[in-house]
């Protein structure tokens, strides 16, 4: 079988003949006399496309034979028109070559080798041996794009065993009796790889390292290349432009504007917190003055509209600092109700978890907690008043 993808990786269309067909699980595995469909390898995904109007679902290689999986048999066996999904192929070549460039740059600049590589549908990753920092990652990104602009030749070939021993490969060769394919990028990098690559680095156009993180003792680099990197850059430009328009600032002024907004926000949050603290003091006094008196207990109930639960919890904490105090609070929103019941530590004969557990069923809810604080939520807004009244009446019975 003639493997055209290694002879000319830029062929998008070709004509071939069927030499074998195997039917497995209602799919047809087609063997052609020649193919430009790359079966995948070296971490790179396989090609897809069309063979004589039939969609190629998958391509794989077994014992040196490339199989093309189709849903149906082509209408003929000779002179089949075949078309590669070129966008997919080109994207795979770009990401794969970019990995070799990034790996070569890390090895050349810092003598750090590559542990593994993954080509994803949205972004790709390469794991570099050891730990990295911002400075090293940025240096590699800059150098990788300089390598692109050098327009280095990318050669893919199968050397003889004697030639192979002379090459200073970046990684240890796999143990195999099969022929080993090598990819060479100018004087930057040479490594064993069975993938398909562009024939020069300029084809990549751009490499963008998105982020890096520690991963199993090494460092995982997330990157984009080719059209992916260009689209990401355009997207960032649009986003940056929107930010500048929103802030009514130039690009150079944007960071200072954001810092000023952040400072203003912190100041307003602090002022709001102080105002809420002062408001809660007045609110607590008013609630105590209007509380239900049940024997020696002070029972306070209130329904808040769309209030922050942290604020309500804080009010309850302040209220139950006083002895013999029970606070029955509800936070009502459009589609739900949250109940928060709290009491003083000296109250022993009435527990908040039991009180809430019985009351919350009236609003089709559930919850839990301790003897002194319990909370939960329900969906029946219309029955909230009855729920609070039920809790107050139960306190009257048990006080």
382 pLDDT band (50/70/90 cuts)? confident
**Structure tokens of 139?**
């240096």
CATH topology identical between 90-235 and 291-398: no
* pLDDT given at position 270: 86
To the question of domain 90-235 being in CATH 3.30.980.10, the answer is: yes
Confidence at residue 179, expressed as pLDDT on a 0 to 100 scale:
85
What's the confidence (pLDDT) of residue 376? 95
User: How far is residue 299's CA from residue 326's CA, in Å, rounded to a whole number?
Assistant: 5
What confidence tens digit (pLDDT) does each residue in 354-372 have? 999 999 999 999 999 999 9
Phi, psi values for residue 131, rounded to 5° = -100, 150
- pLDDT single digits (tens) 320-334: 999 999 999 999 988
Specify the pLDDT at position 178.
79
State the pLDDT at residue 177. 76
- CA-based nearest residue to 313, from 292, 287, 340: 340
Q: What is the pLDDT of residue 251?
A: 84
pTM value surpassing 0.85: no
Kindly report the backbone phi and psi dihedral angles of residue 86, in degrees, each rounded to the nearest multiple of 5, phi listed first: -70, -35
pLDDT tops 90 at residue 8: yes
Q: Is the predicted pLDDT of residue 187 greater than 90, yes or no?
A: yes
Quote the mean pLDDT of the chain.
Answer: 93
- Pairwise CA distance, residues 28 & 68, whole Å: 8
What is the rounded distance in angstroms from the CA atom of residue 399 to the CA atom of residue 395? Answer: 6
Instruction: Provide the pLDDT confidence category of residue 282 given band limits of 50, 70 and 90.
Output: confident
Task: Round to whole Å and give the CA distance between 100 and 106.
Answer: 10
Kindly tell me if the per-residue pLDDT of 115 is higher than 80. yes
> For 287-297, how does the pLDDT look when each residue is reduced to its tens digit (9 = 90+)?
888 898 999 99
Query: For the segment 386-397, what is each residue's pLDDT rounded down to a tens digit?
Result: 999 999 999 999
Task: Answer yes or no: is pLDDT of 161 > 90.
Answer: no
SS3 318: helix
* Unique residue bearing structure tokens 């394919």: 181
pLDDT band, residue 149 (cuts 50/70/90): very high
Q: Which residue blocks in the chain are alpha helix, DSSP H?
A: 4-7, 86-110, 134-149, 161-166, 227-247, 254-289, 309-319, 352-359, 384-398
* 26-38 average pLDDT score: 97
pLDDT band, very low/low/confident/very high, at 275 (cuts 50, 70, 90):
confident
Cα distance between residue 346 and residue 94, in whole Å? 71
Q: How confident is the model at residue 4 (pLDDT cuts 50, 70, 90)?
A: very high
Question: Could you give the angle at which helices 352-359 and 384-398 cross, rounded to 10 degrees?
Answer: 140
Question: What architecture is the 2-84 domain classified under in CATH?
Answer: Beta Barrel (2.40)
Q: Which tokens is 303 given?
A: 């329904």
Note the pLDDT of residue 15: 97
Rg (CA), the chain: 35
User: Half-sphere exposure of 261 toward its Cβ, with a 13 Å CA cutoff?
Assistant: 11
* Alpha carbon distance 183, 98 (integer Å): 12
Q: How many helices (H) and strands (E) does the chain have?
A: 9, 22
User: What is the rounded distance in angstroms from the CA atom of residue 395 to the CA atom of residue 380?
Assistant: 22
CA atoms of 238 and 140, how far apart (whole Å): 26
Output phi, psi for 275, to 5 deg: -65, -40
In the predicted model, is pLDDT for residue 174 greater than 80? no
Nearest 10 degrees: Cα torsion 308, 312, 314, 318 = 160
Per-residue pLDDT at 281: 77
165 confidence band (pLDDT: 50, 70, 90): confident
pLDDT at 176 over 90: no
Q: Report the distance separating Cα 247 and Cα 258, nearest Å.
A: 8
Considering the segment(s) 291-398 as one domain, its CATH architecture is Roll (3.10)
- The domains of the chain are located at 2-84, 90-235, 249-288, 291-398
Task: Indicate the pLDDT class of residue 252, thresholds 50, 70 and 90.
Answer: confident
Q: Output the six-digit token pair for 196.
A: 């398909």
Could you tell me if 326 and 302 are in contact, meaning their C-beta atoms sit under 8 angstroms apart?
Answer: no
Percent of the chain scored above 90 by pLDDT? 76
pLDDT, position 381: 83
């Amino acid at each position: 079988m003639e493997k055209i993808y290694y002879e000319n990786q830029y062929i998008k269309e070709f004509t071939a003949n069927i030499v074998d067909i195997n039917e497995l699980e209602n799919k047809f595995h087609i063997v052609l006399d020649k193919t430009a469909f790359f079966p995948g390898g070296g971490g790179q995904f396989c090609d897809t496309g069309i063979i004589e109007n039939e969609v190629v679902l998958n391509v794989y290689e077994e014992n040196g034979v490339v199989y093309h999986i189709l849903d149906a048999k082509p209408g003929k066996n000779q002179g089949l028109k075949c078309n590669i999904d070129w966008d997919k192929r080109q994207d795979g070549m770009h990401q794969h070559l970019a990995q070799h460039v990034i790996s070569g740059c890390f090895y050349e600049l810092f003598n750090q080798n590559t542990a593994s590589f993954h080509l994803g549908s949205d972004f790709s990753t390469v794991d570099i041996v050891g730990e990295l920092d911002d400075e090293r990652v940025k240096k590699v990104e800059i150098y990788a794009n300089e390598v692109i602009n050098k327009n280095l030749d990318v050669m893919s070939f199968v050397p003889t065993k004697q030639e192979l021993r002379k090459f200073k490969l970046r990684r240890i060769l796999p143990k195999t009796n099969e022929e080993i394919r090598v990819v060479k990028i100018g004087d930057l990098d040479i490594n064993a790889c069975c993938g398909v690559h562009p024939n020069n680095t300029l084809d990549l156009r751009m490499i963008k390292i998105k982020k890096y993180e520690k991963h199993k003792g090494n460092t995982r680099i997330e990157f984009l290349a080719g059209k992916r990197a260009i689209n990401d850059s355009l997207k960032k430009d649009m986003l940056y432009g929107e930010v500048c328009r929103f802030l009514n600032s130039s690009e150079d002024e944007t960071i200072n504007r954001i810092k000023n907004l952040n400072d203003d926000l912190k100041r307003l949050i602090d002022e709001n917190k102080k105002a809420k603290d002062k408001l809660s003091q007045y609110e607590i006094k008013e609630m105590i003055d209007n509380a239900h008196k049940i024997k020696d207990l002070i029972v306070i109930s209130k329904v808040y509209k769309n209030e922050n639960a942290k604020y309500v919890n804080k009010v309850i904490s302040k209220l139950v600092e006083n002895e013999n105090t029970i606070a029955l609070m509800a936070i009502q929103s459009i589609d739900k109700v949250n109940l928060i019941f709290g009491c003083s530590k000296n109250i022993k004969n009435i527990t908040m978890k039991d009180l809430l557990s019985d009351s919350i069923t009236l609003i089709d809810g559930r919850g839990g907690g301790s003897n002194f604080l319990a909370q939960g939520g329900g969906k029946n807004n219309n029955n909230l008043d009855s729920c609070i009244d039920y809790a107050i009446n139960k306190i009257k019975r048990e006080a």
